[in-house]
């Protein structure tokens, strides 16, 4: 009996992400993924129930990776201003270092396929940040608004800006980073 080979699963993950970024979801077939991953298309069905199951799992893993990237280096005792600046920096770093993972998730963000996924595991990762926000709101440093609204200004403009740069194949300047950090901070601080 052969043992299940984790390399194969990883190769399928990687091939899926690369291919979808290269040719778009609508042009990705199981046999193309298999070919790129170096396995038979039917082997994919040893590791996943079907195409949808596979895509969802790749998506969740990518999101999880992103979440860990976002909170990297943030400590509970940091000032909320520091945290805000760090978040923006982390997002930009992650996007740049994990371009293909990032673009893959963006392409599925609005797909009906990814509705109703259980994101609770991922959201838990942001627990510490929520605590800092709450504390800072009590201290009167942050606007008294739902945290989601505050996050929105640190996440969406940053990722969309980054996406534009990736498409043009240019990297971010130090000034870009500082501008985004400052604007985020101005948006959420009292």
Partner DNA sequence: AATGAATGAGAATTCATTCAT
Partner DNA sequence: GATGAATGAATTCTCATTCAT
Footprint on this chain of its own copies (rule: CB under 8 A): 23-26, 103, 106-107, 109-113, 115, 143, 145, 148-149, 152-153, 156-157, 160-161, 163-164, 167, 176, 179-180, 182-184, 186-189
| Partner from DNA, its own copies, none binding residue 112, C-beta < 5-8 Å depending on class | its own copies
Judge contact between 92 and 177, C-beta under 8 A.
yes
Judge contact between 126 and 71, C-beta under 8 A.
yes
- Of 24 and 73, nearer to DNA (C-beta) is 24
Radius of gyration of the chain (CA): 19
State the burial class of residue 44 (Cβ atoms within 10 Å of its Cβ: 0-12, 13-18, 19+).
buried
CB of 76 to its own copies, least distance (A): 25
The label of the residue with tokens 């860990």 reads 68
If DSSP codes are grouped into helix, strand and coil, which group holds residue 75? coil
Judge contact between 159 and 95, C-beta under 8 A.
yes
- Asked if 171 touches DNA (CB under 7 A), the answer is no
Q: Which stretch binds DNA (CB under 7 A): 44-52, 67-75, 79-87, 110-118?
A: 44-52
CA 26 to chain centre: 21
If DSSP codes are grouped into helix, strand and coil, which group holds residue 142? strand
If DSSP codes are grouped into helix, strand and coil, which group holds residue 46? helix
- Of 96 and 107, nearer to its own copies (C-beta) is 107
- Asked if 167 touches DNA (CB under 7 A), the answer is no
CB of 167 to DNA, least distance (A): 25
Positions in 3-42 near DNA (CB under 7 A): 3-5, 8, 27-32, 39-42
If DSSP codes are grouped into helix, strand and coil, which group holds residue 40? coil
CB of 157 to its own copies, least distance (A): 4
Q: What x/- string results for residues 45 through 84 when contact with DNA is judged by CB under 7 A?
A: xxx--xxx--------------------------------
């Amino acid at each position: 009996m052969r043992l299940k080979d984790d390399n194969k699963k990883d190769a399928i993950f990687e091939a899926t992400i690369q291919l979808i970024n290269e040719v778009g979801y609508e042009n990705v077939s199981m046999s193309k993924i298999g070919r790129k991953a170096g396995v038979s298309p039917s082997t994919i069905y040893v590791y996943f129930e079907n195409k949808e199951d596979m895509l969802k799992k790749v998506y969740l893993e990518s999101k999880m990776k992103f979440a860990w990237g976002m909170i990297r280096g943030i400590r509970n005792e940091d000032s909320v201003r520091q945290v805000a600046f760090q978040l923006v920096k982390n997002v930009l770093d992650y996007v740049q270092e994990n371009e293909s993972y990032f673009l893959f998730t963006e392409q599925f963000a609005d797909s009906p396929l990814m509705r109703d996924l259980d994101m609770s595991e991922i959201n838990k990762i942001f627990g510490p940040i929520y605590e800092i926000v709450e504390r800072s709101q009590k201290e009167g440093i942050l606007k008294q608004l739902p945290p989601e609204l505050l996050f929105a200004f640190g996440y969406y403009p940053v990722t969309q800006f980054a996406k534009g740069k990736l498409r043009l194949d240019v990297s971010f300047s130090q000034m870009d980073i500082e501008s985004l950090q400052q604007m985020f901070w101005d948006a959420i601080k009292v």
